[in-house]
Amino acid sequence: MIDHARDLASVREATDRLLTAAAKLDNASVAEPSRLPGWTRGHVLAHLARNADALVNVLEGRPMYLSATARDADIERDAPRPLDTQLSDVRESAARFQETGAAPADWSRTVELRNGVTDVAARVPFRRWVEVELHHVDLGIGYELEDLPAEFVEREIDFLAERFTGHPDVPPTRLTDGTRAWSTGREEGAAEVTVRGPAPELLGWLAGRRDGSGLSVEGGSLPSLPPL
């Protein structure tokens, strides 16, 4: 069962880590490239702020974004701002998300995210946790996949393995870190491929943050995963 209140606390802690780390930057380094193609660190910080507000919209029953075009335009608008403005925006939007999450609500209800994707409201805090942790890594400022909380890594592997389950372009695949195992891909009998490696490497590959070179593969080649 999803504990949304516990996840909200984890989001708060992850946000504090990110803000503390990003506060060591300066205006010049905010304008430098992040690890995401085509995005500066300013783009990443702007996206984090606007995503918090978008998830408030989701929890309050409004469209997550007015449109994909509006989402992208807001990020481009906000990306060039100076560091202090970026940090204030991330902090204040995170507080709005926490305030909305603390309000009495039916957490078993279904909510709609982008592109027609639906989920239970209780999973929205975890989705925000994903945004904060992975984009902290994307900033390229010393926080790596190996630094992520172990609980988060396991749950995000669970989430992404489930996301690719049944996908026609992904062969039946078994994932393992030597202790735990997951299955993903097409559901047609036994797994064709076993992908083995440390949990952060598995997460990096599933989340499109690493190329899988830190993994070993048995029974075939490393599957190509569709974009998230």
Q: Give the E-state strand segments of the chain in sequence order.
A: 110-112, 118-120, 173-176, 181-184, 193-196, 216-218
What is the per-residue pLDDT for 27? 98
Residue 188: pLDDT above 90? no
Q: How many whole angstroms separate alpha carbon 196 and alpha carbon 212?
A: 10
What is the per-residue pLDDT for 82? 98
Q: Greater confidence, 190 or 218?
A: 218
Residue 93: pLDDT above 90? yes
Q: List residues bridging with 184 in a β-sheet.
A: 173
Q: How many whole angstroms separate alpha carbon 219 and alpha carbon 156?
A: 25
For 66-77, the pLDDT digits (tens) are 999 999 999 999
Contact call for residues 123 and 111 (beta carbons, < 8 A): no
What is the per-residue pLDDT for 134? 98
**190 confidence band (pLDDT: 50, 70, 90):** confident
Q: How many whole angstroms separate alpha carbon 171 and alpha carbon 148?
A: 28
What is the per-residue pLDDT for 28? 98
- Tell me what the mean pLDDT of segment 197-218 comes to: 98
Q: What are phi and psi of 33, to 5 degrees?
A: -60, 140
Q: DSSP letters along 68-115, please?
A: HHHHHHHHHHHTTS-HHHHHHHHHHHHHHHHHHHHS---TTSEEE-GG
What is the per-residue pLDDT for 191? 74
For 110-135, the pLDDT digits (tens) are 999 999 999 999 999 999 999 999 99
Q: What are phi and psi of 60, to 5 degrees?
A: -95, 10
pTM exceeds cut of 0.75: yes
What is the per-residue pLDDT for 1? 81
